[in-house]
Amino acid sequence: MRLLLDLFLTFAKVGVMTFGGGYAMLPILQREVVENKHWATEDELMDYFAIGQCTPGIIAVNTATFVGQKTKGFWGGIFATLGVVCPSLIIIAALAGVIEAFSHLTWVKNAFGGVRVCVCVLILNAVVKLLKKAVVDKVTAVIFLLVALGSLLTPVSPVIFVVLAAVAGILLMNWGGKTA
């Protein structure tokens, strides 16, 4: 029971400390899950991020579920998921009643503008960390460049890029005799 409570509280801390959505949570998740609690390795967490991105739902919630499941089975997944979403639900419920009354104020608009810029930096930091761990050789660099260019220059669904990248990874790694 103590581990379930620890899962809940750790992910609640992640949920309450994060602004800007799932991507902004990635650096905090990495610190808490890998460095502080040792519930997953760096590689496992990257896999959870990747799977969490490819499955329906919010990446941080999906990742919390995966980590909780790995750590303490079904109930671990439930407690970790509840932990990461509870702070948002409480804060959103509290703000929903008052946001409309203050959203027209200049200082509120300016505050949201500042928060948006900060969130962009947090997301960029998460991307750079993930990039350093994901692009490890020429094969992964080529896949990265092709997906980056394709997503910037075409309206193709991200799902197609994920499937194509997975197939390319399988084919190129097996053809080259490497394993990831």
Q: What is the pLDDT along the chain (180 residues), one digit of tens a residue?
A: 899 999 999 999 888 876 666 667 778 888 888 999 999 988 888 888 888 777 777 888 888 899 999 999 999 999 999 999 998 888 888 888 777 788 888 988 898 889 888 888 878 887 888 888 888 888 889 889 999 999 999 999 888 998 898 898 888 777 765 555
Q: What is the pLDDT of residue 125?
A: 82
Contact (Cβ atoms closer than 8 angstroms) between residue 95 and residue 108: no
| Nearest C-alpha neighbor of 144 from the set 158, 152, 134 | 134
Backbone torsion region of residue 122, taken as left when φ is above 0, otherwise alpha when ψ lies between -120 and 50, otherwise beta: alpha
Domain co-membership, 127 together with 47: yes
Q: Radius of gyration (Cα) for the chain, nearest Å? A: 19
Q: What is the pLDDT of residue 108?
A: 84
The model's pTM is 0.61
Domain co-membership, 156 together with 117: no
Domain co-membership, 35 together with 86: yes
Domain co-membership, 125 together with 175: no
Instruction: Find where tokens 């969130």 sit.
Output: 119
How many domains does one find in the chain?
A: 2
Contact (Cβ atoms closer than 8 angstroms) between residue 78 and residue 7: no
Interatomic CA distance for residues 32 and 14, integer angstroms: 8
Q: Domain containing 168: what range?
A: 135-180
Domain co-membership, 146 together with 57: no
